[in-house]
Structures are given as structure tokens and as C-alpha cells.
Amino acid sequence: MRHFGLVLILTVVFFSTAWAADDPLTLESNRNAIELVQTHADYVWTLVAAVLVFFMQAGFAMVEAGFTRAKNAVNIMMKNLMDFSIGSLGYWAIGFGLMFGVSASGWFGTTGFFLGDFTPDGDPWVLAFWMFQVVFAATAATIVSGAMAERTKFSGYLVYSIVISALIYPIFGSWAWGSLYKGGGWLEGLGFIDFAGSTVVHSVGGWAALAGAIVLGPRMGKYTRDGGIRPILGHNMPMAALGVFILWVGWFGFNPGSTTAASKDIAMIFVNTNLAAAAGAVLAMTTSWIKFGKPEVGMSLNGALAGLVAITSPCATVSPLSSVVIGAVAGVLVVLSVLFFDKIKIDDPVGAISVHGVNGAWGTLAAGIFNMGGTSLSIIGVQILGIMACFAWTFTTAFVMFKLIAATIGLRVSAEEELAGLDISEHGGNAYPDFEVISYGTGMGAVGIPIPGPANAAGGPIMASASPAEQA
């Protein structure tokens, strides 16, 4: 244990390793020393990867704010900050224990709350592992924020944020990723492959987002009474693009970091992650070009994310060539899926359901289909079972939770608050006081059909359109 001060810091460099000084020089002591150095490298890699995954919080905040309107940008920052902050405390107090605690049943853990009884022997590995896991939990929570943007009551959102971090996510996680000291999840026991969490993290977020979007209903003015779809423009495309680049950076922690070990295996995971993202972006751009006549930026950005989500499950067990195929399919799928959810009038301002839910499922299936170790109907069947179990658990519990919130403290702001923007109504401020925000209107959105010119002249019609109550 070393602390501070340069003299001590210098000491660290030369004597921090356990074999110092009076350690006798034997084959065994050398072997132990080698294993200790490897362990140090494992800590460094796992925790650096955790930093990259943490950075994804910034990426989600930028993507979500960029794809929505200026009048709700403060609210989005607050939601993302609190997803991680409250989520960290909830996952520390409850979630981690449920997910990785001792589980006799295989359905959830019952020890390790508050990191309490995890380290009887003082091994700090559990702390490194917690750090890597808490950033995953926060990712699942933050995914939902985008689909519920621009109309959710902040206090209701905070309740959701605690529940997903402390209960919904960890319990499903315990099924697929097992428990820390003994026992294991039932899905894991069947051979379910989800290396870094296409299902465990992204589909959980995506299906909770679907439940949230359904319970909330669409934003005012999004769907007209005569069946029309009115795209609502995102307010800052460079911000959204920065967010996607940051998320891409973060995924280089998310996927290869899931080895939680410094090993040669991370190389292929890096390459696969990168190729799938690239293929997703290119194919989504191409699809949008064909569908809309122009290469659309929102779709292209979401295409990269779709590729990343899809490769998350299979990244360690498929070839680079397969990764290109998996990402390419994801890029097409995300465009079609966004259009589909718009058609059935489920309003998802950023495309989170399509990116994380649908492509999380696709990636999990792909892990079975493209498995380098060989595939079979039984392998694919287990993958499908995992996908279905995730949907059933997450959608059901999230739907019930959102209905309960709506019935008690309230889940949606009033029509007046929604029109004014959540920044002013929920937080008493606004994001850009030095600039006049002229639109608050509708038009081509981050995920929508391009239209030939600015479409900001629709203040009246929005006001006149269906109220949230009518729409929901």
C-alpha cells in the first residue's frame, strides 16, 4: 500500500511488486512474480477499458441531445448525468449483488450488496470488476433516455433510472453472466453466447426503451390525425456526430475489455468491432441514399452504432469477414427498423429501440450463426431463447414500472411544459441563453425522411395537433 509523495512514488517503481527484497529466488517465486505482473496488466487493461466505457456516457449525451430539440438539451444532460450518478450508487448498493452475488437459484444473487462481503481475503479484483460492470449498467440505463426524450417528467425518470440499474438490468444480467462466487445464471448454463452484451446490455436498454416509448406516447405534433408522420428535427448534427465517434471509442473498451484480462484475444475483438461499425455506417448510408435520394446523416450515424451493437455479442467468436457481414446487415436493419417503428407510431426520437433493441437481438442471433467454433440448430436455439427471455423479462417489468410511475408521481409532463421545453419547465433554465432558438418545430429529423429545406414554420399546427392523451 503506497500513497503519496515522490520519494514513495519512486519507491513504487522499484519495489511495488511483491517479490521485493527478501523474497528468495526460486522457480516458484519467479513464477509467482510473473503471475503478479500479469495480474497487474489485467488490472490496467480492465480499468482502462472501464474508462473508455464510462466515456460512452458523454457519447450518449451528445447523440441524444444532438438528435433532439434545443429546448430539451439541459434535460438530456441532467438525465444522462443522473443515469450514471444514481445508477452508480444503486448498482453499488443493490445491483452488483443481485447480478454477481452468490446465487443458489440461478435467478439472482443474494450477497455482496454495498460491496460488503465480497472481499474476505482482501483481494481487490472485485473492485476492478465492479468498476468495469458499473459502466455497463449505466449504459443500459442511458439507452432508454433517448427513446423517452422531450416529454418525460424528470422525477419520474429518476425513479426509472434507479429501478433499471438496481433491479431490471442486474437480474437479467445474472441469468446470462452468472454469479461471482458460486452458482451461475440459468441462461449461462445452457451455453448462451453474449460475450460483451448485445442482449445483456443493449437489448435490455432497447426493450425498456420500447416500453417507455409506448407508455409515454409520442411527442406532440409527431403524428397527425390524418395518419401523417412529421419528422422532428434534431438541433445539432456535429454534436450527434461527436457523440457517435465517442461511442465508437468507448466500444473499444466495451468489447475487448470484456476479456477483463490483458491477452492476445483482444486484437481480434478490436478488429471485429471496428469492421462491423464501418460496415454498418456504409450500409446505412447506402440504404438511406436509396430510400430517400440523399445520404442522410442521422441514419449513417445510427448505422455505425447499429454495427457496434450487433458485433457486441459475437465479437470474440466470429471472423473479421463475418463481422463485416454482421455490421452490414445491422446497417440496413437499423434504417428499416426506424421506419417501421415510425409507421406504427411508436415515437423514438433517437432511434434507440432500433439501434439497441433490434440490433442487439440481431447480434445475439449472429453470434450463433457465424460462430467460428461451428454452429448448429441447438446453438441457434439457445441464442433465440436468450433473446426471447430478455424481451419477456425486460419489456414486461419495464412496462409495469412505467405504468406504475405514470399512475403515481407521473411519467409525462403537461402539454404546456412539453411545448415550452423541458429545460425551462423542469430545470428552470435553458441550454443556449445567448442564442434565439427559432424553431422548436418539426422537419427532417435525425432519423427521418429528408425534406428539401428548413421546416420550421409549423408552430401553429404543432399546438393544434393531438394532445398526448389522445395519442397515448
User: 432-461: which residues touch a second copy (CB under 8 A)?
Assistant: 432-441, 443-444, 450-456
User: 107-126: which residues touch a second copy (CB under 8 A)?
Assistant: 114-115, 123-125
Q: How far apart are CA 148 and CA 142, in angstroms?
A: 10
Convert residues 302-341 into a mask of x (bound to a second copy by CB under 8 A) and - (unbound): --x-----------xx--xx--x-----------------
User: 342-401: which residues touch a second copy (CB under 8 A)?
Assistant: 373
User: 240-279: which residues touch a second copy (CB under 8 A)?
Assistant: 240-242, 244-246, 248-249, 252-253, 256, 258-268, 270-271, 274-275, 277-279
Convert residues 273-302 into a mask of x (bound to a second copy by CB under 8 A) and - (unbound): -xx-xxx-xx--x------xxxxxxx-xx-
State the nearest-atom distance from the C-beta of 144 to a second copy, in Å.
18
Output the furthest CA–CA distance in the chain (Å, rounded): 84
State the nearest-atom distance from the C-beta of 406 to a second copy, in Å.
20
State the nearest-atom distance from the C-beta of 400 to a second copy, in Å.
26
> In what helix (H) or strand (E) does residue 173 lie, and over which residues does it extend?
helix 169-177
State the nearest-atom distance from the C-beta of 8 to a second copy, in Å.
6
Alpha helices per DSSP H over 260-376? 265-292, 297-312, 320-343, 352, 359-369
Q: What sign does the CA torsion over 373, 374, 378, 379 have?
A: positive
Indicate the residue among 128 and 210 with the shorter CB distance to a second copy.
128
Phi-psi region for residue 441, left (φ > 0), alpha (ψ -120 to 50) or beta?
Answer: beta
Tell me the C-alpha to C-alpha distance, in Å, between residue 333 and each of 162, 193, 306, 339, 358. Answer: 31, 21, 8, 10, 8
Q: Does 156 bind a second copy (CB under 8 A)?
A: no
Indicate the residue among 167 and 237 with the shorter CB distance to a second copy.
237
* Three-class secondary structure of residue 306 per DSSP: helix
User: 168-207: which residues touch a second copy (CB under 8 A)?
Assistant: 176-182, 184-185, 188, 191-196
- Residues linked to residue 412 through DSSP beta bridges, in sequence order: 152
- The cell numbers describing 139, all together, are 449504459
State the nearest-atom distance from the C-beta of 328 to a second copy, in Å.
10
Q: How far apart are CA 46 and CA 34, in angstroms?
A: 18
Backbone angles phi, psi at 232, to 5 degrees: -110, 120
